[in-house]
Amino acid sequence: MIPVRVDATERVSQTMPTNSSPNFPHLTASCSNCGLRELCLPLGLSADKLKRIDQIVCARRKVGRGEGLYRAGDAFSAIYAVCSGSFKNKLVLHDGREQVMGFHISGDILGIDGIGEERHGCDAVALEDSDVCVIPFARVEEISREMRGLQHQFHQLMSRAIVRDYGVMLLLNATAEVRVAVFLLDLCRRFAARGYSASEFHLRMTREEIGSFLGLTLETVSRHLSRFHETKLIAVLQKHIHILDAPGLKVIAGAMN
Amino acid sequence: MIPVRVDATERVSQTMPTNSSPNFPHLTASCSNCGLRELCLPLGLSADKLKRIDQIVCARRKVGRGEGLYRAGDAFSAIYAVCSGSFKNKLVLHDGREQVMGFHISGDILGIDGIGEERHGCDAVALEDSDVCVIPFARVEEISREMRGLQHQFHQLMSRAIVRDYGVMLLLNATAEVRVAVFLLDLCRRFAARGYSASEFHLRMTREEIGSFLGLTLETVSRHLSRFHETKLIAVLQKHIHILDAPGLKVIAGAMN
DNA sequence: CGAAATATTGAAGTTATTCAACTGGAGTGG
DNA sequence: CCACTCCAGTTGAATAACTTCAATATTTCG
């Protein structure tokens, strides 16, 4: 099935898909029928193993735009798989400023930062109306003890989160131009992996949130987006982004690693 | 037992301790007798459970100063617990520059970034002659399936690595002065947790390596160390650091979170 | 519709980097 | 043992990059 370009607003606000395209998760809280299984926790598990972990998801939960899924300090009991929509992970600093630690879209797992201290280490806030699968962590550990496939998959998932963080650290030592370029390309890559258009998308986050994540001011983000627009690397219209010259962006981003 | 101030050179070059102080790991590759068990993988496990995981460590390995424990791209098969000495984790960028991702001392676990892709994601290089316990990862998973205590401990360890990375990301958005202050205080804290002096220590890494880690140039690191020296927050003599006014440093560092 | 939030753009100011000169130790070999 | 060299570190001056402050435009949402 060839992924078709779908308007971002349509795409993400559609909570009840009418087909079984891999782009759209079923509403049922069952991994074996979920369109996201190749991106999410069950990645790489065979069909019969999938059946066994269907019981891992305890419930679906809707989170409205701007609502929190969990907050820093909340007792940790479950991790969450994003089914639809998107989230930011953020920290509120002592002076009230907010630091964005990452953005998450469908297929991503949220909340593993809570395991270490038995409470969540940051806030997860929905950037739009979203759905998550609630996965009680005790159940992950329980089934992991019985199924080495799931156990290993979960370990890989945590390890990859660490490697991703390495990437963020690298990013934070690059110039503002490089940071913005890498940010855009990273979004492209993630959308593409989900069958969405990699060349055109809606930013669900504000310039301020992007800036916070990239360690820049919102003005700097805006300026570099404008510059990319001027140099015809992208077309920006508010939150609509159209990638016109991905190779060109990659040249800029390539200055990093 | 009150931790006594030990000269850093003495402390770290001493490979065969003569007592059973918690400061010094025994040479035997057995967790139940290891002085680091409260900092390392076995943290929180009861004595009888400790016995069961004694088999988890496969061997000890010595790594000479400047030698690599593993390199980015190496096939992943084991994680490592630092017994003595210290390491840097680094990435070599396409242009040959080196990016330091972190520093690790005794009790720290190295290599978990390799789980996700089955190969190591960065280089681990000894900053001085060091010893590690080699822990085959297959054995970690195997014993984890049988012992929920170890399983949970390992999950917490990975989760904490992620939270630590959050801290690094925060740090990289702070001013150079704050970064250097936080770096020093973090070293203090980690040394103190191991029973070493928190107020006086030897830096095993160069200014360039500190700068790389903190996202600063070596000159900027040097300048801020000098400024802290001038303002009597610390006394610097080459790689010897004496913390004179930890509260003062904390005030500066506090500007972060 | 109107208020509040978000985004853009310019100018001035601050901070860290770059380039460069110099100092001091550690290690080497005569 | 001393001279030599190399590497690490310090310090200064000029430059570049990002931030801050400010004004204005645009959009979103109640």
Statement: residue A16 has pLDDT above 90:
no
Rg of the Cα trace of chain B? Answer: 18
**CB B114 to CB A144 under 8 A?**
no
Name residue A188's amino acid. C
Structure token pair of residue A166: 């390495």
Same fold, A7-147 and A172-256: no
- Tell me the domain boundaries of chain A: 7-147, 172-256
pLDDT digit string, tens, across residues B1-20? 433 333 333 333 333 333 33
**CB B156 to CB A116 under 8 A?**
yes
Question: Which residues on chain B are in Cβ contact (under 8 Å) with A256?
Answer: 93
**Cβ A155 vs Cβ B115: under 8 Å:** yes
Q: Which residue has the higher pLDDT, A46 or B155?
A: B155
Nearest Cα neighbor of A82 from A53, A111, A55 is A111
Name residue B167's amino acid. G
Question: Per CATH, is A7-147 categorized as 2.60.120.10?
Answer: yes
Q: What is the CATH number that goes with domain B172-256?
A: 1.10.10.10
Given pLDDT bands bounded at 50, 70 and 90, which one contains residue B28?
A: low
Query: How would DSSP label each residue in B166-219?
Result: HHHHHHTTS-HHHHHHHHHHHHHHHHHHTTS-SSEEE--S-HHHHHHHHTS-HH
Nearest Cα neighbor of B79 from B44, B51, B48, B104 is B104
Nucleotide of closest approach to A209 (CA, C1'): C6
Q: For chain A, say whether B170 makes contact (Cβ under 8 Å).
A: yes
pLDDT digit string, tens, across residues B154-197? 999 999 999 999 999 999 999 999 999 999 999 999 999 999 99
**Cβ B101 vs Cβ B113: under 8 Å:** no
Please state, rounded to an integer, the average pLDDT across all residues of chain B: 87
Q: For strand C, give the nucleotides within 7 A of a protein CB.
A: 6-11, 15-20, 25
**Cβ A133 vs Cβ B126: under 8 Å:** no
pLDDT digit string, tens, across residues A108-144? 999 999 999 999 999 999 999 999 999 999 999 999 9
**Cβ A118 vs Cβ A75: under 8 Å:** yes
* Cα B16 from chain centroid (whole Å): 20
Q: For chain A, say whether B235 makes contact (Cβ under 8 Å).
A: no
